[in-house]
Structure 1
Amino acid sequence: MINNLMLTELTENQTNYQKIWLLKLAIIFFVLAIFIVCGFLLFEKKYQYKIYPGIWLNNYDLSNKTVNEARQLIDQQINELNQKGITFTYQNNENIALSTIKSEDMLQYINFDINQAINQAIDFGRDNNFFINFKNKISAILFKKKIILTVNINQAEIEKILRENFLRFEQPAQDATLIINQNNSSDNIQFQIAQEKLGKIIDYKKGIDELTSELSKLKFQPIKLQTETQYPIIFAKDCLNAESQANSILTLAPILFKYDKLNWTINKNQLANWLLLETNPDKTSSEKIIISLDPEKTKDFLINKVATKIDQTPLNAKFQIQNNKVIEFQTNHDGIKLNVETTYNNLKDYINNKNEKVDLAVEKQLSDISADNINDFGIKEIIGTGESNFTGSPTNRRHNIKTGTNAVNGLLIKPNEEFSLVKALGKIDKTTGYLPELVIKKNKTVPEYGGGLCQVGTTMFRTALASGLPITARTSHSYRVSYYEPAGTDATIYDPWPDLKFINDTEHYILIQTRIENDKLFFDFWGTKDGRITTKTQPTIYNIIKPKPTKIIETLDLPVGKKKCTEKAHNGADSYFDYKVVYPNNEIKNKRFSSHYVPWQAVCLLGIEKIKLK
């Protein structure tokens, strides 16, 4: 009995002991949970408007930085690049410093998508899923999270500049070629085959790919260009019958082209100089190499000798508003155009198949806009107006603004058409009425036609916004310019890129009407209002950076001692404004237009005396 009581008492003591420990553990876990929750809340409060720890952009730590602080860090690196440029080297010879920006209205070769990188950094760890967020934050702290900076590069333009500077170091491969025996008279032309040669060329694509990769990491070290062996395509050993084929083709000369009352003749000497070796497109043939026509020489003849006599450019009707009525002030007419590619192929068929004649491929070019259905265009009222101020513009700039304005005045934009301002302006040179202004390119002063057309681009951009049209392509200037204030509402254009593009998503035509009043440029879009409502905020300007001291460039183009400043100093800054369109069906579209302006030092030309060598 006593033993049973003692056993029961012992069991109760053990049970009480276990309860006490369980209670202690519960309290400990509760306290820990409170600490964790409080720590988590404090952590989230601290980083509410900051980037979480462990977020890096290559070697740059973005942790604990606000959006503006992160932007300033990135901008600082990019501004350094803008001032120094990028150096490409070959065989330890520095040959070119490629700046990412040019003077006003010039092409931007490199564009950093800073907003995308910063958004990626600030959004990391802020998804809708709590557990994924928690895992990502811990992972970033322990292992780092690398953010990628997207870089958009105009590869074609950069490669063009590199080729201009490094072409002298290349030795392209040479195919076996068909050459004319120079000792022969024009009546007795004979051919021979020149041997092929291996070549060595620079791998520009690899260099530009390396540039893209380095810039995305904000690394601005010199890019070393590498060479690669280039092999010929045509070998002399495969050209055993080429000479006899060429002689056979010469029997077709003279070749006569006719169109209407015009005619052109290709004599035997011309034809002989157009002949070349070409790989046989017929892979089943035993002859690997055949005789064909040099596309460059043949098309040059067709373009400069034939097309110039035949081509007639189609002309669209242009309209203007008088007494609230649409009237035509330029009548449309269709055009004709020589299809050079088809004619070239016809000529190839002629010499290969010995056809009876060779046809010129002349095609009719229809005008897009005529006055036949003017009443159906739906042009009733102004749907949007934009303006800009060009006070202080020099004479040539004013002339170019007027010329560009006249080029787009009266144009019609069809429903659902994507309007391209660069395309609408057309050719920009002396022949179309533009005047040159001195600009700096690679430390040289050269005339550039069309300086000031960004006034047209900026005004067109503002008009499209006021009309509530979707903007599909727009690039801000490299630096702030007084003509385009307020900052962030400008649009730069340059043929062929950057361009200003927007879509006419109304159901009617839009007529562009332009006017210049004193120092102000106005564009009016006429069409039919559909009830859409547009609003936009005033630009927010921040992150202002002072420029470097004035840069002096010596030149022989000015009198000795005379100074002419071609670039004014501009503060660097960032800007954005928000754009909102509410459609009649209550659909809402919001878009933020962001702009980055680098600090731009003043640049002045100083006339110097030419040094005379004794």
Structure 2
Amino acid sequence: MGAIDYPVRRPPLRGNVNLFEQILLAVLAGFFIFGLTLAGAFLATRLWYAGRVLPGVSIAGVDVGGLSPHAAAARLVERIDYPHSGKIILRDGERVWVATPGELGLSLDPDASAQAAFRVGRSGPLPGRIKAQVEAMTSGIQLPPVLVLDQRVAYRFLSNIAREIDKPAIDATLSLNGTQVVVTPGQTGRSLDISASLVLITLQLQSLRDGILDLYIHEAAPVILDASAEADLARRILSEPLVLSLPGAEANSAGPWTIQPEQLAQMLTVQRVDTPQGPSYQVGLRQDLMIAYLADLAPKLQRYPQNARFIFNDDTHQLEVIQPSITGRQLDVEKSLRLIQEKIRQGEHAIPLEVMYTDPPVTDKMTGEQLGITELVQATTTYFRGSSSERKQNIRAAAARFHGLLVAPGETFSMAQALGDITLDNGFAEALIIIGGQTIKGVGGGVCQVSTTLFRNVFFAGFPVVERYAHAYRVGYYEQTANGHSDRLAGLDATVFVPLVDFKFTNDTPYWLLMETYVSDTSITWKFYSTKDGRTVEWNTTGPVNRVPPPEPVYRENPDLAKGEIRQVDWAAEGADVTVERTVYKNGAVYFKDTFFTHYEAWANVYEYGPGTELPPPDERR
């Protein structure tokens, strides 16, 4: 008989459900283990290196990790010998003077240097301390030494050199008596400019490097038979004010700047020059004083380039300029100095300054096609029904800072930097803010409605979040929906407190990103315009878990309130933990994943009352 083939019965497939659950549990376990490991490492490091500098910390190349501050200071004294072994060569032509930095007044403060190293990873907020510890143990942290410079020592050293250099002038000279030019006979003289040379030495010592420095020497011209021509030029220079201005006719531009003859006389100098006809005098303005004058003007003329601001016309799909671009401007001190010296010798007294201009990356003429801004990428709306008029004012003022703003491809955008100073002068009002573990009245309350909206738009658009901080407790505004309230929005808030707390994200696309903000009486909408790159977002949330009821109400006396007056200044909120997970796909494949964990403190009702006020019994307090 032949063999009989029996059909093989296999168990039914359960699909990939259990596999996905196992992977998810493994990922969550990994995050949990990583957190425990990080916390343990931080605690172990603090315990192991108690009283000692963290490993990886160096001062001027000297490793002081693992040492006590006292031992670190001793090692620095042993290793950093620049004040004693360095060489500063001061030169006047072929004559030189050699000094150590110590002989010029430089000394190391080893104790202060060691204390600076000891504070690494031990000062500031906890995230910063952890970051510093990780950085020290991985890539290392280099600190500069604390040095003390006694300029009086260098001044005495230069004074001794001056005795060798200085000699009286006996050549014919031109001199000034106020604004009067006087031709007097004399002799060639040389003098060391101790103040200018001291500045040069100070800068070199601060670099911690050896150097050869040419001393600043003032020379008087030798005997010259006829100085009348230059004397006449000096008189013409002092005959009227010198007027400096910006080139062209810029609207609302600074200037002009007028230097009166009395001040010009103090700037005027007479230098000896060699000509084919023999030695001569040349009248001009002192270079050091003019550089100082122009250097004082430079910040007033500084203007940083700014991109144009646009809105995207949803009908035409074209960009419309709402704020023109600004061309950057910077004073060219060197060219301006040369031009002034040249023109003033030609008898001119109205001289335009030399200015360098820089176009911003995005000008008014650029189109959406050039920038890759072709469509709406994401729009998110949050709600703030019940807000005070002051809070609404702050929301509008903050949102306006971002309307039409551009984020470059690859740029990490800082909300705090774009927001700038939050002051009454900048259009903000006083409203309730969360700071120092309590809700108080301060300038800018409500700005976090704007940061929360930006965070959610970034979240749902699928951009990487670089820095985000949640609020201390749950705020009802941030869980409002169009028609009510949703616990699913818990854990999707972000706070910004300039300049300490920031929200940052990265535009990781090859296209520019245009932001638009629109504020109504009860909502704010944030829009991103760019070009979609095939990314989609899936997310889930635990919702509020580990709920903790609000503590008992708190009553505290406020001497500014009247007797019998009771005012609520803080509102109860339930404590909870929320974990939000996000998966970003690009063209169907996983691009990246991230998790946002938020711990909300339980918050109590807080009341203030005037002195002598009779409080309700404990069982009647809300």
2:410 corresponds to 1:491: no
Q: Distance in 1 between matches of 2:296 and 2:490?
A: 46
Q: Deviations over 1:418-449 (max 9, x none)?
A: 33322333443334322233668789999743
Matched, 1:432 2:426: yes
Question: How many Å apart are 1:577 and its aligned residue?
Answer: 0.8
Q: 1:499 to 1:445 in 2, by over 3 A?
A: closer
Aligned to 1:415: 409
What is the CA-CA distance between 1:498 and the residue it aligns to? 2.5
What count of residue pairs does the alignment treat as equivalent? Answer: 402
Matched residue, 1:467: 461
Q: Residue deviations 1:277-324, cap 9 Å, x none?
A: xxxxxxxxxxxxxx989x999977654xx33xx748645131133436
Q: Distance in 2 between matches of 1:464 and 1:425?
A: 17
Partner of 1:163: none
Match of 2:536 among 515, 533, 554: 533
Cα distance in 2 between the residues matched to 1:214 and 1:465: 26
Residue aligning to 1:316: 308
Give the C-alpha shift of residue 590 in structure 1: 1.4
Asked if the contact 2:416–2:502 (Cα under 8 Å) also holds between the matched residues in 1, the reply is yes
The offset of 1:409, in angstroms, is 2.4
Q: Is the 8 A contact 1:469 1:505 kept in 2?
A: yes
| Matching of residues 109-148 of structure 1 within 5 Å | 116-120=34-38, 146=44
Relative distance call for 1:207 and 1:582 in structure 2 (3 A) is same
Helix, strand or coil at the partner of 1:402: helix
Cα distance in structure 2, aligned partners of 1:332 and 1:370: 6
Aligned match for 1:259, one of 222, 243, 246: 246
Range moving further from structure 2, 472-481 or 416-425: 416-425
Any idea what SS the aligned residue of 1:577 has? strand
Give the percent of matched residue pairs that are identical in Structure 1 and Structure 2.
24
Matched with 2:508 is: 505
User: Which letter maps to 2:469?
Assistant: T
Which amino acid in structure 2 is aligned with residue 238 of structure 1?
A: F
Equivalent in the alignment of 1:238: 157
For residue 503 of structure 1, what is the amino acid of its counterpart? T
Give the conservation status (yes or no) of the 8 Å contact 2:541–2:578. Answer: no
What is the DSSP-based 3-state SS (H/G/I as helix, E as strand, rest coil) of the residue aligned with 2:470?
coil
User: How far apart are residue 490 of structure 1 and its match?
Assistant: 0.9
Aligned in 2, Cα 1:121/1:430: closer, same or farther, shift over 3 Å? Answer: closer
User: Does the CA-based 8 Å contact 2:571-2:604 persist in structure 1?
Assistant: yes
Tell me the distance in 2 between the aligned counterparts of 1:296 and 1:384.
Answer: 52
Residue equivalent to 2:570: 567
C-alpha displacement of 1:384: 2.1
Normalized against structure 2, the TM-score is what? 0.50
Contact 2:565/2:610 (8 A) holds in 1: yes
After superposition, what is the alpha-carbon deviation per residue over 1:565-597, rounded to whole angstroms, capped at 9, x for unaligned?
443343443321110011116244211111233
Three-state SS of the structure 2 residue aligned to 1:537 is strand
Q: How far apart in 2 are the matches of 1:347 and 1:362?
A: 14
Separation (CA, whole Å) in 1 of partners of 2:495 and 2:539: 20
Correspondences of 1:246-395 after superposition (within 5 Å): 257-260=244-247, 262-265=255-258, 302-303=298-299, 306-307=300-301, 311=303, 314=306, 316-323=308-315, 325-338=317-330, 343=333, 362-366=356-360, 368-395=362-389
TM-score, normalised with respect to structure 1: 0.51
Change in Cα spacing, 1:460 to 1:296, as seen in structure 2 (3 Å) is: farther
Q: Which has the higher contact order (CA 8 A, sep 6+)?
A: 1
* Matching residue's letter, 1:470: P
Q: Specify the alignment match of 1:477 in structure 2.
A: 471
Q: Is the 8 A contact 2:431 2:446 kept in 1?
A: no
Change in 2 beyond 3 A, CA 1:409/1:549: same
Over the residues paired in the alignment, what is the CA RMSD in angstroms? Answer: 5.6
Distance in 2 separating the partners of 1:540 and 1:445: 24
Q: Report if aligned partners of 1:378, 1:509 keep a CA contact under 8 Å in 2.
A: yes
> What's the offset of the Cα at 1:483?
2.0
SS in 2 for 1:582: strand
1:388 Cα deviation after fit = 1.8
Deviation at 1:462, TM superposition (A): 0.8
AA matched with 2:461:
S
Deviation (angstroms), 1:389: 2.0
1:84-163 equivalence runs, <5 A: 116-120=34-38, 146=44
- Structure 1 pair 531–446 and aligned structure 2 pair: CA distance change class (3 A): closer
Contact persistence 2:432–2:446 (CA under 8 A): no
CA distance in 2, matches of 1:267, 1:552: 67
In the alignment, is the contact (CA less than 8 A) between 1:316 and 1:367 conserved in 2?
no
Worse-superposed segment, 577-586 or 426-435? 426-435
- Do 1:420 and 1:502's aligned partners in 2 also have CA atoms closer than 8 Å? yes
Structure 1's 326 and 546: CA in aligned 2 closer, same or farther, altered over 3 A? Answer: same
Paired amino acid for 2:532:
K
Bigger shift: residues 457-466 or 571-580: 571-580
CA distance in 2, matches of 1:608, 1:301: 57
Kindly tell me: are residues 298 and 480 of structure 1, through their superposed partners in 2, closer, same or farther at Cα, counting changes over 3 Å?
Answer: farther
* Aligned residue type for 2:497: Y
What residue identity is the alignment partner of 1:118? L
Segment of structure 1 superposing worse, 318-327 or 259-268: 259-268
Distance in 1, Cα, partners of 2:462 & 2:511: 14
Partner Cα distance (1:364, 1:211) in 2: 43
The SS at the match of 1:238 is helix
The Cα shift of 1:465 comes to 1.6
Distance 1:299 1:441, change over 3 A: farther
Say if 2:335 and 2:354, in contact at 8 Å, map to a contact too.
no
Looking at structure 2, the residues matched to 379 and 526 of structure 1 have their Cα atoms a distance apart, in angstroms, of 6
Match of 1:61 in 2: none
- Structure 1 portions without partners, runs of 5+: 1-48, 50-65, 68-112, 125-144, 150-195, 219-227, 274-290, 610-614
Query: Could you tell me whether the CA contact under 8 Å between 1:332 and 1:367 is conserved in 2?
Result: no
Distance 1:579 1:448 in 2: 34
Cα contact 1:331–1:371 (8 A) shared by 2: no
Partner of 1:455: 449
Judging changes above 3 Å, is the alpha-carbon distance between structure 1 residues 264 and 445 closer, same or farther for their aligned structure 2 residues?
A: farther
Change (3 A) 1:314 1:498: same
* Residue equivalent to 2:589: 586
**CA separation of 1:368 and 1:498: change in aligned 2, threshold 3 A:** farther
Contact residue 412 and residue 507 of structure 2 kept, 8 A = yes
**SS at the partner of 1:408?**
coil
**Residues 409 and 512 in structure 2, CA contact (< 8 A), matched pair in contact too:** yes
Amino acid at match of 2:257: W
